[in-house]
Amino acid sequence: MSAEVVRIEGRDPEAMRLYEDAILSARKHGFIQNEAIGSNEVAARFYLDRGYETTAHAYFRNAHRCYLRWGASRKVDQMEQECIRPRRPNLISLPNSMGAPVDQLDLQTVVKISQAVFQ
């Protein structure tokens, strides 16, 4: 809440610090829903509004991960439609350890791998 107040007042450097403080506090105390929306997603929009697309995308990915862990499947779907637009390189058939081409991995497998990597 404090980050939003100082953002509205135009004190961007302080807002940046407060967003990060809120994320760390929510994480420390196990409030994954607050870490997701109250911090990461709001911070992502803050950075996106200022033209920092790479930073915004990182915060969106973190929010997305939190929503997945929280079990907010509709929010995950919404973010995937609106915010998380993965860059799709030309798909090539590189074999993975299971012998299937990378472009044929199912979504559930990709989500499980992502969760394992980011935990």
Mean pLDDT within 18-46: 89
What is the pLDDT averaged over residues 58-63?
Answer: 92
Q: Write down the pLDDT at residue 52.
A: 93
Instruction: Report the number of distinct structural domains present in the chain.
Output: 1
In the predicted model, is pLDDT for residue 83 greater than 50? yes
65-77 pLDDT, tens digit per residue, is: 999 999 999 988 8
* Domain extent for 37: 2-86+93-118
**Residue 107 pLDDT:** 59
d(CA 119, CA 74): 21
Give the count of beta carbons closer than 10 Å to the beta carbon of residue 78: 13
Q: What is the pTM of this model?
A: 0.65
pLDDT at residue 35 in the model: 87
